[in-house]
A and B are shown apart, each in its own frame.
Chain A
Amino acid sequence: MRVSIDSATCQGHGRCYDLAPDLFGEDEEGYAVLTELTADRDVPEGREGDARLAAANCPELAVLVHEQVRA
């Protein structure tokens, strides 16, 4: 699974870093950023549910998850 933050729509509600603080963080102004674990945009195995939950709770729809079919 791939994940990204649409910085054009993120308004810093912080739901993603509330719910999954190791997958998402905040910058100095409170906008969401990816973390060490997600810096390459790959969601660590077994954490897909947390990434989905963060996306499902973002009021601005700024957390984008892309389900991938593994070859």
Chain B
Amino acid sequence: MTVDDRFTEEARQQRIAQAQLGTFNEIVTGPVSDWTTDFSHLEPEYAENAIEVWDDLRGRCPVARTERFGGAWLPTRYEDVAAIAYDTEHFTSRAIIVSNVRPPMDVAPVGLAPPISSDPPFHHDARKLLLPAFTKANVAKQAVTTEAFCHSLIDTFAGRDVVDAATDYGMYIPMRVIADMLGFPQEDSEKFAHFVENALEGANGPLEERQARGMALSDYLFEQVRDHLDNPREDLTTYLLNAELYGQRLTPQHVVGTMTLLLIAGIDTTWSAIGSSLWHLAKNPQDRERLVADRSLRPKAVEEFLRAYAPVTMARLVKEDVELGGVQMKKEDWVLLPFPSANRDPERFERADEVVIDREVNRHAAFGLGIHRCVGSHLARMELTVALDVWLDRIPEFSLADPDAVRWSAGQIRGPRALPMRIG
């Protein structure tokens, strides 16, 4: 067996340096003065009222603008969000989280977290490596352990009247699943929470802090790689270490970048979907009672929750000047892709603003559209389905313990981060 000498100190330094280069702009924080010209998805008023913000903008300014983040756009109509998602000629995935740093041009077409950060044609080849592990048939194999884990979380509720459905339940499910898939220690969930928060909710934070935390994530992943090189096992990390592209093993930056993607993208997203669904059911007892009584309704309800509370807003950078939705977008402008807003466009969906748990036709875009369709969508659906099944079967009666204490996340992943629930 040949020694794997890719993950050197030099490679680690290169990863850190790569993540620190780019074009920086001034950080602007504080209340939004006008949603059409000064929006920010990273302020508390957006976290609180995103749905109202989208509905308002869709009606009077379907592509909103901000000078924050060095210039960004927020389209809210399905038509415009879809057009951008499908247009890889004018829009690049070189960066997919809006922040105050645009990574150097030369990170394209691979980007820092392939394949989500990759552009064609490289994107296709990097994505192909991941797809087999995430098919519906393959993720179904994890349903049994996921179900047992959900039960074990609910077992810990014994004797309590109030639990936090976000931080005592939803959060742990994707953390456990992705830790299992990557072969990371389960007890590291605290660390995962910090990495995720920095990457997503902290996107408008001070640069030094973000860089220090990004470095901690790189160090953690290099540690996991070393552990897997010493003790290879059947998991995605070992798979990536052995994978080949164009006849050669992956670069260390590709391996660590993909691990970053899988760890960050798999957690907040599914956590948010589980929390939003339980929040809805806590507030709507008729829907809750119907789903408790009739399991056959649940798959449709899951799709409807994904439509109405789609957690993920993606982003792109403009690659070439382009006119879209009546505005002139300039090279290097950010563009947000709020799939949850697209999913609530009345031009596209009947009763778009209502949650109809037995909706038959539901062509929602919760997992994106086009070549970047969420690679983990089947896994997310499995986790959400199992998490709701176990909760509804074990805790058929529940309601919000304190509606004012519910807190929604800001940023590109939307879901409840505090969700006190009265149970039983």
Residues of A within 8 A of B (CB): 11-14, 17-18, 26, 28-30, 53, 56-60
Contacts and interface: CB of A to CB of B under 8 A. Distances in A.
Contacts of B303: 57
A29 B370 contact: no
Contacts of A11: 369-371, 373
B77 to A, nearest CB: 16
Interface string B330-366: 0000000000000000000000000000001111110
Contact of A56 (B299, B363, B364, B378): B363
B135 interface: yes
A26 B361 contact: no
5 contacts: A18-B299, A28-B131, A29-B128, A29-B135, A30-B131
Interface of B: 128, 131-132, 134-137, 299, 303, 360-365, 367, 369-371, 373, 377-378, 381
B363 A57 contact: yes
A29 B132 contact: yes
B136 A59 contact: no
Contacts of B363: 56-59
Nearest to B366: A59
Contact of A59 (B128, B135, B364): B364
Chain B contact residues: helix, strand, loop or mixed:
helix
A63 to B, nearest CB: 11
B136 A17 contact: yes
Contacts of B361: 53, 56-57
A65 to B, nearest CB: 14
Given A14-B378, A58-B363, A26 B369 contact: no
B369 A59 contact: yes
A63 B381 CA distance: 21
Contacts of A59: 363-365, 367, 369
Nearest to A28: B132
A14 B385 CA distance: 15
Given A11-B370, A12-B373, A30 B365 contact: no
A11 B375 CA distance: 10
A44 to B, nearest CB: 21
A58 B370 CA distance: 12
B149 to A, nearest CB: 23
B305 to A, nearest CB: 15
A60 B369 contact: yes
Given A57-B361, A58-B363, A30 B369 contact: no
Contacts of A13: 367, 373, 377
B360 A30 contact: no
B83 to A, nearest CB: 14
A30 B378 contact: yes
A26 B367 contact: no
A41 B242 CA distance: 39
A14 B131 contact: no
A18 B369 CA distance: 18
